[in-house]
């Protein structure tokens, strides 16, 4: 069998640095804290760590507003800490993928400080500037994801600048070749330091329509958010012109050429567009752009076998030789167990969901805490830190509920920090299912996660094989993963009731070692609530 690149079928563990582990008692997680938990992360059986932004930043958007691409914010540590993290991770055979926020910077970046002064300075064209309309209003109707107009007036220049996110996050002008060249230099700084890959934030937002055409309205029935609240006016438009422009493809080819100079490195793009599945396919086809992409399609409230099947099949139809990466949770959306499991979700559901997403064709991003079955935390307004949630309160409470610190122990502070208070509180309900308590419970979500990932490593069909969905009973997702070595039937009970399934006749070898119990009798499988089964095709057919 041809040797596959390490990232194909990899499980990538997303670390949100603020919330993993605080090493110095200031109430905020940091890089040394991540290093101290590398043995734990290794025990999860993952292949890589995606580290959310740690760069120098005023933290208006918690690091996604970068003021210096080449330095570490003192809140998290320093460059020596990053070098040590890379080295220590590599010593444990774990890859390091870092977040790169290329489409915009902080308004405190030195480039923007120069650009905003006048229209003639050396960086005057490094950001997206536009004259006002005749009546002084913004140049078009584009909206910010974080609420309101996407244009902010700058009196020093007498122009508006574009911000697709916060007004403190001005968009870079990628139509300027100097900007593209400089951004590639910023990326190469980290490649030279030894990182194994880049998670590319909002990568389809790099280019805007040069004609600044208005976005058309979207009918009310179609205003369904993908990574943003449906109460947000952003959902009222078809975002045809403020992102996902054709010029981005040539830039991605330049980025890929740079990565190809560093063998073994990988790019993972975050996609949020009007047709994210089509954009995912477009950005990964041909082997000359991104290695893989993920979108918000499985990060919504939609939860059914039919929805997941139609989402994956739609992508498979267009992706060709491209490669997807699936995620059911991250730092931008409510915890999956609350989103899909309701007010009192079952730990068995958490086990099933982790196994399900790790069995789809593609790589996987697993957000810290999913291995514990953490739920969304309901925080009062006075505890919120996220400007997105503060703006849209109370209809939308923002992203803080999925960002609360990891519960390592049942002690006050959850073993996360020695500080009297943390940047966000450790939830009482999380301390009850801490790492320490779950490690002592053989039937815990944590131990189920470890058992499953260890078992999955030995099955190339689950990591690299193709996928074919089968018609099945209601509330059951069923598909076959197949390569030249094996064909494996994978079934997942999405309901809280026992389910009896009839399986294809040629699948007759129940697989064990994955941690799930099921019974096969006379071509029927009995699945318990949120049960899982894996059955191999007989070798003699």
pLDDT tens digit string along 306-346?
Answer: 999 999 999 999 898 889 999 999 999 999 999 999 999 99
CA distances from 175 to 126, 139, 141, 192, 403 (A): 9, 18, 21, 26, 35
Mean pLDDT along residues 11-34? 98
pTM (predicted TM-score): 0.96
Residue 541 has pLDDT above 50, yes or no: no
The more confident residue out of 185 and 538 is 185
Return the SS3 of 244.
coil
| Chain CA centroid to CA 432, Å | 26
For residue 388, name the pLDDT band (cuts at 50, 70, 90).
confident
- Whole-number Å distance between alpha carbons of 424 and 385: 8
Mean pLDDT along residues 148-174? 97
- Whole-number Å distance between alpha carbons of 428 and 414: 8
Given the residues 65, 201, 297, 316, the one annotated as active site:
201
For residue 270, indicate whether it is catalytic: yes
| Chain CA centroid to CA 137, Å | 36
- Whole-number Å distance between alpha carbons of 365 and 301: 18
Structural domain boundaries in the chain: 11-105+177-454, 467-537
Same fold, 11-105+177-454 and 467-537: no
- Whole-number Å distance between alpha carbons of 378 and 380: 7
In this predicted model, what pLDDT tens digit does every residue of 74-131 receive, in sequence order?
A: 999 999 999 999 999 999 999 999 999 999 999 999 999 999 999 999 999 999 999 9
467-537 to CATH, choices 1.10.1030.10, 2.60.40.1180, 2.30.110.10, 2.60.120.260: 2.60.40.1180
Given the residues 61, 270, 376, 400, the one annotated as active site:
270
Q: Which CATH superfamily is domain 11-105+177-454 in?
A: Glycosidases (3.20.20.80)
Q: How many of the other CB atoms lie within 10 Å of CB of 517?
A: 12
């Amino acid at each position: 069998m041809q040797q596959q690149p390490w990232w194909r079928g990899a499980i990538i563990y997303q670390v949100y640095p603020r919330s993993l582990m605080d090493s110095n008692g200031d109430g905020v997680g940091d890089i040394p804290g991540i290093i101290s938990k590398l043995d734990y992360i290794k025990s999860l059986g993952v292949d890589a760590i995606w580290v959310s932004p740690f760069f120098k930043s005023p933290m208006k958007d918690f690091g996604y507003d970068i003021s210096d691409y080449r330095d570490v914010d003192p809140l998290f540590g320093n460059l020596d800490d990053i070098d040590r993290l890379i080295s220590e991770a590599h010593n444990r055979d774990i890859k390091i993928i870092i977040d790169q926020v290329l489409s915009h910077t902080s308004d405190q970046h030195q480039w923007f400080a120069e650009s905003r002064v006048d229209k003639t300075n050396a960086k005057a064209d490094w950001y997206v500037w536009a004259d006002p309309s005749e009546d002084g209003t913004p140049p078009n109707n584009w909206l910010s994801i974080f609420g309101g107009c996407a244009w902010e007036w700058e009196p020093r220049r007498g122009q508006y600048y574009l911000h697709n996110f916060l007004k403190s996050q001005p968009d870079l002008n990628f139509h300027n070749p100097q900007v593209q060249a400089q951004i590639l230099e910023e990326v190469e700084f980290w490649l030279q330091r030894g990182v194994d890959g880049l998670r590319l934030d909002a990568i389809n937002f790099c280019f805007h329509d040069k004609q600044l055409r208005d976005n058309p309205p979207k009918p009310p029935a179609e205003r369904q958010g993908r990574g943003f609240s449906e109460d947000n006016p952003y959902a009222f438009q078809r975002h045809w012109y403020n992102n996902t422009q054709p010029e981005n493809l040539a830039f991605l080819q330049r980025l890929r050429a740079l990565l190809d100079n560093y063998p073994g490195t990988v790019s993972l793009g975050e996609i949020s567009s009007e047709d994210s599945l089509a954009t995912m396919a477009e950005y990964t086809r041909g082997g000359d752009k991104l290695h893989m992409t993920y979108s918000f399609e499985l990060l919504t409230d939609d939860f059914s076998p039919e929805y997941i099947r139609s989402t994956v099949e739609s992508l498979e139809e267009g992706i060709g030789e491209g490669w997807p990466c699936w995620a059911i949770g991250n730092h931008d959306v409510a915890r999956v167990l609350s989103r899909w499991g309701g007010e009192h979700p079952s730990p068995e559901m958490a086990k099933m969901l982790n196994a399900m997403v790790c069995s789809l064709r593609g790589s996987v991003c697993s957000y810290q805490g999913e291995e514990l079955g953490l739920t969304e935390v309901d925080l009062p307004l006075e505890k919120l830190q996220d400007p997105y949630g503060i703006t849209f309160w109370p209809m939308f409470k923002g992203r803080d509920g999925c960002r609360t610190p990891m519960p390592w122990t049942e002690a006050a502070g959850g073993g996360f920090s020695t500080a009297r208070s943390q940047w966000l509180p450790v939830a009482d309900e999380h301390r009850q299912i801490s790492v320490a308590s779950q490690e002592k419970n053989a039937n815990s979500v944590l131990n189920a996660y470890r058992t499953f990932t260890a078992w999955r490593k030995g099955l190339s069909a689950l990591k690299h094989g193709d996928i074919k969905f089968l018609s099945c009973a209601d509330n059951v997702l069923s598909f076959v993963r197949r390569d030249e070595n094996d064909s494996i039937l994978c079934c997942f009970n999405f309901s809280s009731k026992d389910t009896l399934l009839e399986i294809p006749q040629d699948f007759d070898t129940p697989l064990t070692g994955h941690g799930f119990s099921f019974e096969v009798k006379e071509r029927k499988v009995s699945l318990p609530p949120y049960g899982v089964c894996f059955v191999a095709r007989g070798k003699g057919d």
